[in-house]
Structure 1
Amino acid sequence: MPDLVFQIIGGTQSYDWGKIGDDSKVAQYAKAGIPDFKFDESKPYAELWMGTHPNLPSRLTNGEKLSDHLKANTHLLGESILSTFPDSIEGNLPFLFKVLAIGKALSIQAHPNKQLAAKLHFERPDLYKDANHKPEMAIAITPFVAMCGFRPLSQIAVYLNQIPEFAALVPSSLRDNFIANSSLPATDPEIKSLLRDVFSAVMMAPEDDVKIQLRKLVGRYLSGGFIEDERSIFDLVVELDRQFPNDIGVFCVFLLNIIQLEPGQAMFLGAGEPHAYISGDIVETMATSDNVLRAGLTPKLRDVPNLVSSLTYKAADPSVHLIRPLPPSFSNPQRTKLYNPPIQEFSVCSTTVTPEKEELHTEIYGPSLMVVTSGAGQIMWIDAGQKNLALKEGSVIFIASQTPVTFEGDMTFYRAFFEG
């Protein structure tokens, strides 16, 4: 019989926005947890993937793909996931678990809902490689900065009224109409339509106009000229323009919320929510998909029409995106925090184990993956006798459904799981 708990080997992705060499948590974990990892101190290490996604599938230590092993041993997944996600019979997990190390901004992007994902996959399978949606949750390992969701309408109206370089990208009649109606409830169809038109006008502004206005804006900031309402964002504008000169995505600072998370804080982004990660190291969990609609701050292909048409245009304070941890039903709430986003595919917990006392996780009715982000220890379980597995920073572990496990040592880890 296969083990109920076993080590798996993830894979790394190197993108230009990743942190360089040992500055990257991804590189640190890969050096410790991937046996044949070839480290290059000059290379950006952006993502560590853990799961069954075909673009970078995890493997067991003997080289077998995790999905093949789970397909041959579906009891490790549990009945709940098999009845909820038909694709799991093929050994596929409904979530993808990652660590991201962000050295410079990711693209202005959003992820399609299931209906749009299926359409895009049918029309452009070379670009949109699966038909699934991609809701995602980020938990900060280090201080983390991102843009997420549209700002409250009143804030956007102030910027349109007081920032001439930004206002110049929006036709005057549309600008005046938006400002006049910005006191409407954010759910009102009229203001939602106006917000869509403003966003579309900015994102589709002529390249020459963008360059002219951005040079004016950055020049004004560098000379010390800014109003009070710009104080909190001018450094970010200058930095984004340095990273992506003359890119329309820089103007999204006036449209999207800026959120700063401290370690242990989390945020969730559903389908159709515009966002861009700016800096920091995070644990990220998402539905198993790699579909991205991009529109700025990127050298990759931009799909502005589909992005504009897919967004929800919810305007709100950034706090609506926060996921506040709950006490778990399966562990000590003083040591384990549960992050439970409003979707079916996954939840995540973080656990800190100290030498003074072991930590028990009782049964979870679904499979899980865990990654150790600091420290070392061991995991213990019962399977025809007591078994254990040594853990260290960068260890990635699969835990079968309905398997109580005990941890001891001095470490912190994150555990992503499905529980029906």
Structure 2
Amino acid sequence: PVSEISAFCKRFPELGSLLGADICKQLDENADEALKNAYSTLMRADGEAVAEAITAIVSRAPAASDEAHSFAIELDRQFPGGDVGVLSVFFLNIVHMVPGQCLYLKANTPHAYVSGDIMECMACSDNVIRGGLTPKYKDIEVLLKSLVFESRPASILRPTHVKCGAECEASTYAPDDIDDFEVVKGFREHWAVKEWLDMLSSYPSSPPAECLHPSGVLERPLAPSEVLTSSEPEDQ
């Protein structure tokens, strides 16, 4: 929420100075355009000023309860040299996920994966716009024109459990307002390739078109009448 960003500006004067007094006042008043104006100001800030602010902030020892500060220190360790993405941590939700959880992000929502292994599913797109935490080119103006600025908590998507045949179950992750794709996680104590194929064939709705298996990759031809095939022998 905007109130947390305002609190960060008070806790870290370097961040408040980088944004400026007018922006900090907007954050205090929770003005409609406060989030957009504050983040845009941060991303357009002079690189040297950003680096100086980061150095000052990460040089302090974080309080035990100050998770955002700890993340900023870790991100600066991974991306040294004044990467503006380090300060973005004070504008974003911090989410700790556990196996089986799904985080739903609307299009044009800035995000970053700090650690761990995840599977990302998205509609086909060739326009990744970088905003930080990378040595690659960042087109800040295109980024700011594309982003949707909303102050809201993270959206954890709960799965729907379905039966696939007599012994198999699956969890379906399907956001209500997304028609492009859904993610299905099938599970049993032990999986063989044939069981994966059986699960896909008996899936209640349209079978998944692309699948991941611990022993390899399974593929289903586009034509529904065609037989599912596997790139791995059944005994693996």
Shorter chain as normaliser: what TM range?
A: 0.7 to 0.9
CA spacing shift, 1:333–1:304, aligned 2, 3 Å: farther
For residue 203 of structure 1, give the secondary structure of its aligned residue in structure 2: helix
2:55 to 209, 215, 234: 215
Please say if residues 3 and 27 of structure 2, whose CA atoms lie closer than 8 Å, have aligned partners that are also in contact. Answer: no
| Aligned twin of 2:70 | 235
Task: Return the offset for 1:200.
Answer: 0.7
Distance 1:259 1:306, change over 3 A: same
Structure whose residues are more often strand by fraction: 1
- The answer to whether the aligner puts 1:279 opposite 2:115 as a matched pair is yes
User: Could you tell me how far apart the structure 2 residues matched to 1:265 and 1:333 are?
Assistant: 23
2:36 corresponds to 1:196: yes
3-state SS in 1 of match to 2:148: coil
Deviation for aligned residue 1:296 = 1.1
Q: Which residue of 2 aligns with 1:376?
A: none
**Secondary structure at the counterpart of residue 279 of structure 1:** coil
Task: Report whether the alignment pairs 1:339 with 2:173.
Answer: yes
Question: What residue is the counterpart of 1:38 in the other structure?
Answer: none
The equivalent residue for 1:172 is 21
RMSD: 2.8
**Can you list the C-alpha shifts for 1:194-232, whole angstroms capped at 9, x where unaligned?**
211100111111111111111111111xxx3x4566x21
Match of 2:217 in 1: 395
SS of equivalent to 1:288: coil
Specify the alignment match of 1:328 in structure 2: 162
Specify whether residues 333 and 312 from structure 1 end up closer, same or farther in structure 2 by C-alpha distance, changes over 3 A only.
Answer: farther
> What residue identity is the alignment partner of 1:292?
V
- Aligned pair count reads 222
Alpha-carbon spacing, 1:355–1:202, altered in 2? closer, same or farther (3 Å): closer
Tell me which of the two structures has the higher relative contact order, counting C-alpha pairs closer than 8 angstroms and 6 or more residues apart. 1
Q: How does 1:140-179 map to 2 (within 5 A)?
A: 152-179=1-28
Answer whether contact 2:164 2:170 (CA < 8 A) is retained: no
CA distance in 2, matches of 1:369, 1:169: 46
Aligned equivalents of 1:348, 1:396: Cα separation in 2: 15
Alpha-carbon distance in 2 for matches of 1:208, 1:316: 31
Question: What are the Cα deviations for residues 311-347 of structure 1, in whole angstroms up to 9, with x where unaligned?
Answer: 11111112x2x22101237567973101112311111
* CA–CA separation in structure 1 for the residues paired with 2:167 and 2:3: 39
Distance in 2 (alpha carbons) for counterparts of 1:198 and 1:333: 53
Structure 1 Cα separation of the partners of residues 145 and 108 of structure 2? 9
Residue number in structure 2 paired with 1:140: none
1:351 and 2:189 correspond: no
Name the SS for the 1:158 alignment partner. Answer: helix
Residues 329 and 206 of structure 1, relative CA distance in 2, 3 Å threshold: same
**Conserved in 1, the CA contact under 8 Å of 2:184 and 2:208?**
no
Instruction: Please show how residues 12-411 of structure 1 align to structure 2 within 5 Å.
Output: 152-179=1-28, 181-182=29-30, 190-191=31-32, 193-220=33-60, 224=61, 226-227=62-63, 231-245=66-80, 246-318=82-154, 320=155, 322-328=156-162, 335-341=169-175, 342-355=177-190, 360=199, 361-362=202-203, 364-365=205-206, 368-373=209-214, 393-398=215-220, 400=222, 402=224
Structure 1: stretches of 5+ with no match in the other structure: 1-151, 183-189, 374-392, 412-420
- Alpha carbons 1:364, 1:401 under 8 Å: kept: no
Question: Retained in 2: the 8 A contact 1:363–1:401?
Answer: no
Q: Structure 1's 177 and 283: CA in aligned 2 closer, same or farther, altered over 3 A? A: closer
Unaligned runs of 5+ in 2: 229-233
Q: 1:243 to 1:356 in 2, by over 3 A?
A: closer
| Contact 1:367–1:399 (Cα < 8 Å) also in 2 | no
Structure 1 pair 244–356 and aligned structure 2 pair: CA distance change class (3 A) = closer
Which residue in the other structure is 1:95 paired with? none
The alpha carbon displacement at 1:172 in A equals 0.5
CA apart distance, 1:177 = 2.2
Residue identity in the other structure for 1:336: A
Preserved CA contact (<8 Å) 2:14 2:56: yes
Structure 1 residue 164: Cα displacement: 1.2
Contact 1:339 1:349 (C-alpha < 8 Å) held by counterparts? yes
Paired with 1:356 and 1:212, the residues of 2 have a C-alpha distance of 53
Query: What's the offset of the Cα at 1:173?
Result: 1.5
Mapped contact 1:330–1:364 kept (Cα < 8 A): no
Q: How far, CA to CA, are the matches of 2:112 and 2:125 in structure 1?
A: 17
CA contact (8 A) 2:79 2:133 kept: yes
Q: For residue 352 of structure 1, report the CA deviation from its aligned partner.
A: 1.2
Shift of 1:171: 1.1
